[in-house]
Structure formats: C-alpha cells, structure tokens
Structure 1
Amino acid sequence: MKKYVVMILIAIVLIIGGGTFAYFHFANGGPWQGTWWGVQDAGVNWSGDHIRNLETVTFTQNDDKTITVDHKVQQGSREVPGSLTGTGRIDGGRLVITPKNGGKELALSYSAVSRSMDTPFTNADKSTVTLKALAPENNEEMESIRSEIVQISQKPENKIDTTLSKAKS
C-alpha cells in the first residue's frame, strides 16, 4: 500500500513539474521576447587592440504569432542595424528569421539548459556567438562592454584618416 502512495505522490510531483515547465517555456511566449545580448569577438586589430562587437536583439511578439526582431550591433562608436532585423516565426525550438533586407533566412536556437541563444554568427576562433537575456543583474556588464568598444574605437591609432593631402610641388 505504501508503494502505491509513494508512486502516486511521485506522479503528482512530475505532473505539476511538467505543467510548470510547460507554462514558463511555452504558454508565456518562451525565450522569443524581450532583449538579449552577446559579444562577438572579432580578434585583434593591427594596433593590438582586442576588437569586439556588442550584439543586442529585441524580440516583440505580434498578434499574428510572428515575432518582430530588432538587431543592433555596436561597432566602434556607431550602433548599426544588424542582419537579424526582420520578422521571425517559431519552428520547434528555433526562431527562423526572414531578414528585412531580403537576405536568406537565418535561425536562432535556444538552449533551456544554459538559458542562452545560439546565433548564426561566429567569433574569430570560429566558436558560435551566444546571447543571454538582458536582466538588471547583467545590464551593467553589457554597458561596460559597450563603453570599452567605444573607447577602443576612439584611440588615435584606430581612427582612419580620410583626408587627402596635397602634394607639394
């Protein structure tokens, strides 16, 4: 009799746990909402500075079950639109994005274990660029990286001189 009671309690715990998991990962929209960020390591430039690009991606769910994707890349002192900007649709555990610029479809995959997103981008060492959800506890880290990227871009040796000089005759 005690075996049955224990088995019933275990079954109830599993059902409640499964329902909670389903609610937090599927019913509330899953990971495809809010702002996510990551850093692409682009290697070292000619002056020896470690070059990185800050990637921020904002997901907004629409009434028609599509997701608007707004991708920004901090490159030096400029923030430019990224290639992931467009409209996405959920396909299993992935988000397939049709870029706004008309390029080929790109996919993001979410890992519930590490709570991170893999992108189609790669770092200088060929590893995948991953994104993590922007939260109050990591916002300062993200802004610190942004500030570092801007500072490196403003060093005199990293500025490109586009002026034409006159040859003296």
Structure 2
Amino acid sequence: MKKYLAAIVIAILLIGGGGFFAYVHFISGGPWQGTWWGVQDAGVNWSDDHIRNLETVTFTRNDDKTITVEHKVQQGSKEVDGSLSGTGVVDGGRLVVTPKKGGKDVALSYNTMSKTIELPLTNADKSAVTLKVLTSDNNDEMEQIRSDIVQISQKPENKIDTTLSSSKS
C-alpha cells in the first residue's frame, strides 16, 4: 500500500510540475517579454581600465504572435541601438530574431536552470554574454554599472583624439 501511495504522490507532483512549466512557458508568454540586461566584458584597454558594455533588451509581444526586440547598448557615454533589434518568432525554446538592419537571423536561447538568456555576443574571454530579467531588486545594480561605464569613458586618457595633425615636408 505504501508503494502505491508513494507512486501516486510522485505522479501528482510530476503532473503539477508539468502544469507549472506549461503555465510559465506557454500561457504566461515565457521569457520573451519585459526588459532583460547584462554586461559584455570587453577586456582592459590601453589605460588599464576595465571596459564593459551594458546590454539591455526589451521584448514586446505583438498581436500577430511575433515579438518586437529592442536592443540598446551603453557604450561609453552613449546609448546606441544594438545589432539584435528586430522582430522575433518563438521556435521551441529559442527566439529567432530577424534584425531590422538586415543580415542573418539570430537565435537567442533561454536557460531554464539559470533563468538567463544567452546572446550571440561574446565577452573578451570568448564566453557568451548572458542577460537576466530586470527587476526592482537589480535595477540599482544595472544603473551603477551604467554610471561606471560613463565615468570610465569620460576620463581624459580614454578620449579618442580624432584630429589629424599635418606635417610639413
């Protein structure tokens, strides 16, 4: 009798877990909504500063079941449009994005264990850039990173001199 009771309890837990998984990924829209953020580590520059780019990606569901992807990158003191902006379609656990600036489709993948989205962008150490969902708990952390990036870019030794000097021959 105890064997059957244990089997029934396990079956109920599996069914409940499967229902929760279905709710999170299909009914609630899955991970492809809201704003996500992460940091691309570009390494150390000539002035020995740690250079990073803040990546933010906003997913907006459309009525036609596509997803509008808005990718912004904080590079130095400027926030620029990122290469991943476009229109996406859910394909299994991935989001296939057609970039609005043209080029090949890009696939974004969601890791259910770490609850992160892996981008096709790489860090200086060749690892993938990952995003986490933006929440009220980590918004201050993201804004601090943005502030650090802007401060580093404004250091005199990091300014790029675009003037050309002329030489007399």
Q: Which TM-score bucket, shorter chain as reference?
A: over 0.9
After TM superposition, the structure 1 = structure 2 runs for residues 147-162 of structure 1, keeping only pairs within 5 Å, are 147-162=147-162
Alignment of 1:61-76 (within 5 A): 61-76=61-76
Aligned to 1:127: 127
1:107 & 1:25 partners in 2: Cα distance? 17
Match of 1:48 in 2: 48
Deviation at 1:5, TM superposition (A): 3.1
Q: Deviations over 1:65-88 (max 9, x none)?
A: 100000000000000000000000
User: How big is each residue's C-alpha offset from its partner over 1:118-162, in whole Å with a ceiling of 9 and x where there is no partner?
Assistant: 110001111111111111111111100000000000001111233
What one-letter code is carried by the residue in structure 1 that aligns with 2:57?
A: V
- Could you say what secondary structure the match of 2:138 adopts? helix
* Aligned counterpart, 1:35: 35
Shift of 1:44: 1.0
Shift, 1:165, TM fit: 5.9
Cα 1:163–1:2 change in 2 (3 A) is closer
Gapped regions of structure 2 (runs ≥ 5): none
How far apart are 1:4 and its partner, in Å? 2.5
User: Matched residue pairs, number?
Assistant: 168
Supply the distance in 1 between the matched residues of 2:101 and 2:166 (Cα, whole angstroms). Answer: 40
Aligned residues with identical type, % of pairs: 76
Normalising to structure 1: TM-score of the pair?
0.94
Give the equivalent residue in structure 2 for 1:80.
80
Distance between the aligned counterparts of 1:120 and 1:10, measured in 2? 39
* SS of structure 2 residue aligned to 1:29: coil
After superposing the two structures, state which structure 1 stretch, 133-142 or 73-82, moved more: 133-142
Q: Tell me the C-alpha RMSD between the 2 structures.
A: 1.6
Alignment partners' CA distance in 2, 1:155 and 1:87: 37
**Secondary structure of 2:47's partner?**
coil
Partner of 1:98: 98
